[in-house]
Chain A
Amino acid sequence: MSRRRSPLIPGLIALIGVLSLASLVIGPASISIPVALKALVSDQGAASIVVREIRLPRTLLALLIGWIFGLSGAGLQGLLRNPLADTAVFGAPQASAFGAVLVIYSGLVGTLSWALPFAAIAGALLSIALVVAVAGRSATIVVLVLAGLAVGSLAGAGTSLAISLSPNPFAVTEIVFWLLGSFEDRSMVHVGLSLPFILLASGLILKAAPGLRALSLGEETARSLGTDVGRLRGLIVAGAAIGTGASVAVAGSIGFVGLVAPHLVRPFTGYDPARTLVPAGLAGAALLLAADCTARLIPSGAEVKVGVLTALIGVPFFLWVIARRKAELVETPA
């Protein structure tokens, strides 16, 4: 069990570097790679404005949010010992969106207020805690997914209610587009708004890493090995909720990155749930940034929303995992 130096993490970082560069270059205004790089550090006129104020914040947000989604997905999958666990499956993005919509349309705050992430985090926390509580200790994946579906539907209904009660059609359009999830027109203010929460969430989930190993043998064995399972559950649920809430607050509802990313890296980490965390986060960052670049490249009148794109990739993937593991999923306790 000597620690082999795996090229996985350096490889993912290199991939993120390449994608970041692409993200600074791709867009309606044609800017070459050397100009884009120069524009980051020195004044290149219009190119500097485009790169620094439009593409850089967008790149950073995609990386931060992809990272925390990948990390949360890997954490929840480890906690529930189930490869289908993810905040999106638990209805957390919808619940976050509902929390945010509630404060925006109650007229309490604007979209750049610190209250927004807090409301979104409260929504996510409620949904994840509810699903983990309902699913309980010995629930099957069926119970888990059904509970998530119910919570997500409830939050979606709440959001629909808020939309239908809204007197202002422009506000309705705005909220609907925001719900689709996008990094369009985001600024460094959005980065600043989400960064502290994402750092906190990362810290909480990474702190739980050693316990996740013990948990792969089940809750009883983990406890007998000295793991405080309640604390572990608290760390991961809180981390996933804070990360999801902060992300949804600035970029709307983006799902399924957390479901897909851990699967991509797990074969390279020896399926060790603790060693899967960081690579899953990096894979999530790469995945979401790639999705955002793709969204910008698809020729269409209005830009394709990245949240739509991740769902288009993520949902078939989800179904594929179910189909592939159907036999064991029937019996697998969550």
Chain B
Amino acid sequence: MMPFEIRSLSVDLGARRALESIDLSLEPGRLTALIGPNGAGKTTLLRAMAGLVRPSAGDVVLDGTPTALMRASARARAIAYLPQGGGVAWPLPVEGVVALGRLPHGEEPDRLPAEGRTAVEAALRSVGLQGFETRPATSLSGGERARMLLARALATQAPVLLADEPVAALDPRHQLIVLEVLKARARAGTTVVAILHDLNLAARFADHIVLLDQGKIETSGSPEEALTKARLAASFGIQARVSRGEDGLLVVAQSPLPSA
């Protein structure tokens, strides 16, 4: 169990400050949803957590060690990152793509040891892609491709899993499949952080919601704490109805508020 912390993290993108003094402590075993309006800095925060963007100040700390001090391969073994809407350049077989998740362990996709082989099979099984092993990755549908890329991230078996809009552009069934996989992975002890735009999915699946606005954390807490009418109005600029029914918290966006 590795605690994953973000300490006073600031990131500048060119002259613009994208993130301002972010402090966040993420616990293993929980699914955290990162929400916020477009341009709030969600992707930048996730990339900084993955070590893909250099912070101007502060640290990302995994199990007491700043990730900036870790070797690239050690960091890659500890933190799996699933970028938004990724593709595959060549018609590689599906199992070959998933096996790329073993690269941080120094395992070559065409010479996987037993452990890597097991990890790849388990990852394919958990996203329901058994039987797809030899299919060319470029022949998959959007939903199948998203599941394959998620399986690639799972195959690393990293204690931290970061996913940037993993359900964007997916149909409702695939959205549920992907979020259930992420939730199950969290329950198995992984620290999972996912950027989500659908507030109802965030409310339903996340244990913890972080609302980011203009590069700052607006609120961080349970779905009930984070998804209030007042916060949605302030951060998203929407008039929303938040109700609690038999399906849990329900957010209905009613109308955009006039911009301030």
Contacts and interface: CB of A to CB of B under 8 A. Distances in A.
B83 A220 contact: yes
A228 B110 contact: no
A226 B92 contact: no
Interface stretch (B4-12, B15-23, B93-101, B196-204): B93-101
B89 A225 contact: no
Contacts of A82: 89
B111 interface: yes
A275 to B, nearest CB: 7
Given A210-B103, A272-B109, A275-B110, A226 B76 contact: yes
Given A217-B152, A221-B83, A270 B103 contact: no
B109 A220 contact: no
B3 interface: no
Interface in A257-273: 266, 270-273
A224 B50 contact: yes
A214 interface: yes
Nearest to A80: B89
A273 B109 CA distance: 12
B37 interface: no
A324 interface: no
A34 B77 CA distance: 59
A227 B103 CA distance: 9
Contacts of B99: 1
A224 B81 contact: yes
B142 to A, nearest CB: 14
Interface in B47-83: 47, 50-52, 71-73, 75-77, 79-83
A214 B103 contact: yes
A318 B104 CA distance: 36
B144 to A, nearest CB: 16
Contacts of A44: none
B89 A81 contact: yes
Contacts of A275: 110
Contacts of A225: 76, 100-101, 103-104, 156
B103 A1 contact: no
B221 interface: no
B160 to A, nearest CB: 11
State the majority secondary structure of interface residues on A: loop
Contacts of A270: 92-93, 96
Interface residues of A, number: 26
A272 B96 CA distance: 9
A216 interface: yes
A221 B81 contact: yes
A224 B111 CA distance: 21
Contacts of A220: 47, 52, 81, 83, 86
Given A224-B79, A226-B75, A214 B100 contact: yes
Contact of A224 (B80, B89, B117, B120): B80
Interface string A71-82: 000000000011
B177 interface: no
B91 interface: yes
Contact of B89 (A1, A216, A228): A216
Given A214-B100, A217-B100, A224-B81, A1 B90 contact: no
Nearest to A209: B108
B52 A223 contact: yes
A220 B149 CA distance: 13
Contacts of A224: 50-52, 76, 79-81, 83
B97 A273 contact: no
A213 interface: yes
B86 A221 contact: yes
A27 interface: no
A81 B86 CA distance: 13
A158 interface: no
Nearest to A216: B89
Contacts of A273: 89-90
Contacts of B110: 1-3, 272, 275
A45 B99 CA distance: 59
Contact of A1 (B50, B73, B112): B112
A156 interface: no
Given A217-B88, A225-B101, A271-B91, 6 more contacts: A82-B89, A220-B81, A220-B86, A225-B104, A228-B72, A272-B92
5 contacts: A217-B86, A223-B52, A224-B81, A227-B72, A273-B90
Interface of B: 47, 50-52, 71-73, 75-77, 79-83, 86-93, 95-97, 99-101, 103-104, 108-112, 117, 120, 136, 149, 152, 156
Interface of A: 1-3, 81-82, 210, 213-218, 220-221, 223-228, 266, 270-273, 275
Question: 9 tightest A-B contacts by CB?
Answer: A226-B76, A81-B89, A224-B81, A271-B90, A226-B72, A226-B73, A220-B83, A216-B89, A225-B103
